[in-house]
Amino acid sequence: MDDAKAIIPTRFKAKISHALSFPIGAERVSNALVNTPQFGELVLHFNSDRWGNVRFRRYTCIAVERSSRRAAMADRFLDSAGIPLLDEWRVDVFPVPRTHRHVIQQHILSRALPDISDWLRQRDELEQPGEESLKFIYDEEKDELTSEHQSRLQPRRA
């Protein structure tokens, strides 16, 4: 596979309001993550703002997640072509106000995607069951992108 043309498959793309926009597309995410060990296993989800989070002026714009539980159930949930609907490695992109799209995109390119790439590399050999995620939240008032790490990994057993 030619890395320059490799694109992470988009599993889901929600319809969003004309006042919102996705801050980054599949090509840029793929280019930033192409050299990660999980690249071939990643899928993209472009989610809706179902709960109206952008109105609070502090909202998640991009996240990466690993779920061994989803992966374990994948063979039970197949689409019409026999492709699993659940994936172990996933990148979620969330809509942002169209007026802030460019600023948030710059934050994602300069900080979030390099951090996501590092996060994925650090989990190359991870076999511990459970779920783990890294999400990036944009605060409009501070013009600041912060990250939050969540881990629900099961303890290692001897």
pLDDT-wise least confident of 37-41, 100-104, 122-126, 151-155? 151-155
- What is the number of alpha carbons within 13 Å of residue 138 lying toward its C-beta? 26
Percent of the chain having pLDDT more than 70? Answer: 81
Confidence of residue 4 (pLDDT cuts 50, 70, 90): low
Residue 157 domain-assigned (yes or no): no
Here the tokens at position 81 are 């072509």
Crossing angle (nearest 10°) for helices 26-33 and 113-122: 50
Residue 158 domain-assigned (yes or no): no
Q: Which residues contact 39 (CB under 8 A, 6 or more apart)?
A: 6, 8, 33
Residue 78 domain-assigned (yes or no): yes
First-to-last C-alpha distance (Å) of the chain? 39
Residue 51 domain-assigned (yes or no): yes
Q: Is the pLDDT of residue 70 over 50?
A: no
How many domains does the structure of the chain reveal? 1
Residue 67 domain-assigned (yes or no): yes
pTM of the prediction?
A: 0.85
Residue 66 domain-assigned (yes or no): yes
Residue 31 domain-assigned (yes or no): yes
Percent of the chain having pLDDT more than 90? Answer: 66
Q: Average the pLDDT over 78-97 and give the result.
A: 73
Residue 90 domain-assigned (yes or no): yes
Range of the domain at 25: 3-150
